Structure 1
């Protein structure tokens, strides 16, 4: 007989008061136990332990509502108190008790439940657990009609007769511990990641089926049952990653500071002597940064979705740090290819199609032009508008001689002091840089995850895609601009195929009819640092966004922060869970002309039809 310890009545009362406020609760229980309730939900997960299995407890911690308790601590009164509070809002209450199967050879999930109760919930549990077969053959799950739905050596959490009267359903689940070596307790880390991701989603889907049938329609989908709040461990890991990423200033440190001067020298040498680019000094030690990077304990992040985001970003940062180490060598390019990917056949095909449809650039009429100061004055109006939307951030511009053209660094617009812009293109450029890049940075800054503004792994592609689409929507995407995107793809292809700077420059100038200056700047961007394939993602991103909008995608979602197209479902999940806030949208979307063009995109158009 287990000698029980009871939770002090005063502590019980304080816990209940906290739950009643419907605010996040995390409370330590006696003997290393814990109760966590992210928000008021009509279900809770329970794990009672003899010796705490830290890996098993991490499975339970993937949920928004759980109790992990030493089996000698009587939690029955606590559960009953929670049930009463839940009953005031929801018609029924689901208790899922989990325990590890101590049989090291077991590959089966044993689900114990009352007869003919919640078939949809049981089906969701069975189907979800069996999906692990894809990574670990022979996993099975069975549903057993049992009166006892708890570990055999323990007492039930609630009296069976009372639970029937109160609309409470208890399901017990014995879980095989396939994710670790039974003899050494060594964790099979890669399999465990998959295991706990599947476990997390399965429990939420099962609970949703119970809620959908038994309760009022308080939850639109199972994702709303996930965690809303970012815990301290996750927040610190996210913050530390962002600090390393921000400290790199990767693009600034891989952009030449003497591109204007080298253009003049290149021109004087009749385009026969390749330029010699110089870069900012690297004021960090990549090896030390990598050490800090892998000291961040992402493996302790309980939320599978956020852990996935952080791991992806960590890999990207590691590659960027390696690229900084290899700046100026061929290895820079090779690592960059693994980071930005190779040119897809579809992207290459569209680039060729653009250059065939528009074999020559448009001749600019003698239209008014802006110098750097004129453009800055115009841009300031847009910056002032968003400064009102984000009063806690400082949006500004800076005119400099060490940047190529126009670019954004966080919330600052950087303008080259030598630029000369067609006035008609200025609005498009402003919506590209401010209405997209700066706005998504500001929206990301309002989110609890730093990666939302620092950028997920590979975020450049979608960022540039929506930025170019913004140019189209405001009526400023020209033949020359579209040709430029295609030219970048062809330049990257030329470089990857082994061509020299001079050969690529000549290809752009002679075969694709780019001006000498434009051919130089395209080549400069592609050959900087030792070869950067990033410029091919602009057109790839445009193709992605066109598909997304045509397929009914919500354009507003794309402005939530900085992420790639393969992260859109994750963003939608985090929005559904309430982890992320809806985005402040670009004001150009309010224009009637923009609404007409957006309607065309939804109907579906070719890339070559984007020219305004």
Structure 2
């Protein structure tokens, strides 16, 4: 080897001995990346363009990209020696692509695709081979399934590296480039992504089986072998996407600024014509923000999980921007349906059951005359925020009184906005603040502490679980009244009717005449559903509550939900990122979990309580 290579090896040896992370580019497109000491290395050797193999390799926490066999052998020996000394065992995964997709044909069915896996060594390496093969065969293969060949090392033309390193336990993996379109340089992006994800997972399972068989490392999951450090590309993309997300406040932009005047107008015309709502002028150029959004590159993350999360967020922000551009037009409703989904028949059935079984009795509402005004709500809000800030100085929430909001509270980023027209039953104040401060603000500041802004602005689709957790918080502090439950259920019915073409007046009449809501409550609910031109967001409260209750009934933990703003579909992702060390434990836990009755009520939720039963506890 040359003097330059000797110097490079000496540099690697020094870092390996000290247990330091390594990310060193050398040569043309060559790199050694080890984010922490681990008993494995994933390698790609060669100059041929193999994008899937490169994506598989670079998705790992310990990998080597190298152009020639001699350099590969020298570096691998160095890493293997250091890691064997540390762990007592070491495994090498050599990943590459076959030259052609030989099993492809023009048949009416989707043929299998070729994959070969050979193992060098005895004992534990056999467990790794079995684990890899089983994982690949059992993976969801939406398009084509693998047909795996298991040649001996001596008969495997791809196993040149393994034959150069006969004393190392190794797997040599080659797979057909099924992601390629017959046209030059074109690929099937979804197929490429799925193929990479499946092989990355199979590789981690193979390593986990090996370290389990050798006793070299104790693992809670094969995913614990994944990356614990973000590359710079992730940080850059995170900031760029967050700049777009922070450039507008979606809910403020679609919330009327003339709620009181609109209600007076509606009353004056005998509740026969929909009121005219006024909105804040948009402060952004929609097309410019969309251009900025899709100029963010997601193809250098070296982490398929994070790539998926940011792509989902891009798509959600795109829909939100499209909604804003369509405000007060017929297209707005359809963009809202795309963003929040339709009202599922099962959700509508659950809402109607709640309304049918909690029909209001005639007479005064219990608690009339014991209302809290806006000053009381503000004082209690500031006291709760101060209490959270006392436990974590990063909880820097602010409170704003606003004249341009309908009655109630809402969170915008790290701000709690309180309408100056707010009045509510005093018994509901702690519940509502537990909802807004204890869930929405808490997950914002916990997400801010994660190192990536995505977890504070929210993963795509997070609002359902967020609102479900917030409603659960109301229940845990004893604030889930029948009136509140009916309101949440009525929102679902109103959203369903709106999506089916009902007008504002139709909705108002349904709420007053059929469901027994007061004029004020019916107007405010209809305003929320028809803001901007018709938005089905308010169906997420009951939908989210049912998701959270199902999660608890299945024995699920709430802990990952406090790390930031996530959706139910991201629960497994959060667990994986936590296992890998990419996410920290939440800086704060909700104070409502310490309520004197919270433990008893939470046990009831784990036992399978229904929304109807929550109002009796």
1:589 equivalent in structure 2? 593
1:108 equivalent in structure 2? 114
| TM alignment of 1:373-412, pairs within 5 A | 373-404=375-406, 405-412=408-415
Task: Report the number of matched residues.
Answer: 602
SS in 2 for 1:185: coil
Query: Residues 173 and 92 from structure 1, CA distance in 2 versus in 1: closer, same or farther, beyond 3 angstroms?
Result: same
Q: Deviations over 1:22-74 (max 9, x none)?
A: 44321012232101112211111111113453443122111111000111652
SS in 1 for 2:212: helix
2:261 equivalent in structure 1? 261
Q: For the Cα contact (< 8 Å) 2:57–2:63, is it kept in 1? A: yes
Q: For the Cα contact (< 8 Å) 1:367–1:423, is it kept in 2? A: no
Q: For the Cα contact (< 8 Å) 1:5–1:73, is it kept in 2? A: no
| TM alignment of 1:57-206, pairs within 5 A | 57-71=54-68, 74-105=71-102, 107-114=113-120, 117=123, 118-131=125-138, 134-137=141-144, 139-147=146-154, 151=158, 156=162, 159-160=165-166, 163=167, 168-181=168-181, 184-206=184-206
1:345 equivalent in structure 2? 345
Aligned-residue offset at 1:131: 4.5
Aligned-residue offset at 1:304: 1.1
Query: Residues 281 and 157 from structure 1, CA distance in 2 versus in 1: closer, same or farther, beyond 3 angstroms?
Result: farther
Aligned-residue offset at 1:147: 3.9
Q: Deviations over 1:434-487 (max 9, x none)?
A: 000000111110113222111111111100000000000011111111011011
SS in 2 for 1:278: coil
Q: Are 1:500 and 2:503 an aligned pair? A: yes
Q: Which runs of no fewer than 5 residues in structure 2 stay unpaired?
A: 104-112
Please say which of residues 563-572 and 76-85 is displaced more in the overlay: 76-85
Q: Are 1:470 and 2:473 an aligned pair? A: yes
Looking at structure 2, the residues matched to 15 and 426 of structure 1 have their Cα atoms a distance apart, in angstroms, of: 60
Q: For the Cα contact (< 8 Å) 1:113–1:171, is it kept in 2? A: yes
Aligned-residue offset at 1:137: 2.9
Q: For the Cα contact (< 8 Å) 1:526–1:535, is it kept in 2? A: yes
Q: Deviations over 1:560-611 (max 9, x none)?
A: 1111111111111111111111112112212331111111111111110011
Say which of 490, 493, 498 aligns to 1:487.
Answer: 490
SS in 2 for 1:541: helix
TM-score by length of 2: 0.93
2:576 equivalent in structure 1? 573
Looking at structure 2, the residues matched to 148 and 90 of structure 1 have their Cα atoms a distance apart, in angstroms, of: 31
1:438 equivalent in structure 2? 441
Q: For the Cα contact (< 8 Å) 1:375–1:426, is it kept in 2? A: yes
Say which of 443, 449, 452 aligns to 1:449.
Answer: 452
Aligned-residue offset at 1:263: 1.5
Q: Are 1:16 and 2:13 an aligned pair? A: yes
Query: Residues 237 and 131 from structure 1, CA distance in 2 versus in 1: closer, same or farther, beyond 3 angstroms?
Result: farther
Q: For the Cα contact (< 8 Å) 2:121–2:170, is it kept in 1? A: no
Looking at structure 1, the residues matched to 292 and 246 of structure 2 have their Cα atoms a distance apart, in angstroms, of: 14
1:555 equivalent in structure 2? 558
Q: For the Cα contact (< 8 Å) 1:546–1:601, is it kept in 2? A: yes
2:47 equivalent in structure 1? 50
1:28 equivalent in structure 2? 25
2:285 equivalent in structure 1? 285
Q: Deviations over 1:84-118 (max 9, x none)?
A: 22123312100011222123426311111136543
Q: For the Cα contact (< 8 Å) 2:45–2:65, is it kept in 1? A: yes
Q: For the Cα contact (< 8 Å) 2:554–2:606, is it kept in 1? A: yes
Query: Residues 72 and 147 from structure 1, CA distance in 2 versus in 1: closer, same or farther, beyond 3 angstroms?
Result: closer
Q: For the Cα contact (< 8 Å) 2:50–2:96, is it kept in 1? A: no
Aligned-residue offset at 1:126: 1.5
Q: For the Cα contact (< 8 Å) 2:399–2:418, is it kept in 1? A: yes
Aligned-residue offset at 1:366: 4.2
Looking at structure 2, the residues matched to 507 and 103 of structure 1 have their Cα atoms a distance apart, in angstroms, of: 64
Looking at structure 1, the residues matched to 273 and 498 of structure 2 have their Cα atoms a distance apart, in angstroms, of: 17
TM-score by length of 1: 0.94
1:515 equivalent in structure 2? 518
Looking at structure 1, the residues matched to 536 and 307 of structure 2 have their Cα atoms a distance apart, in angstroms, of: 28
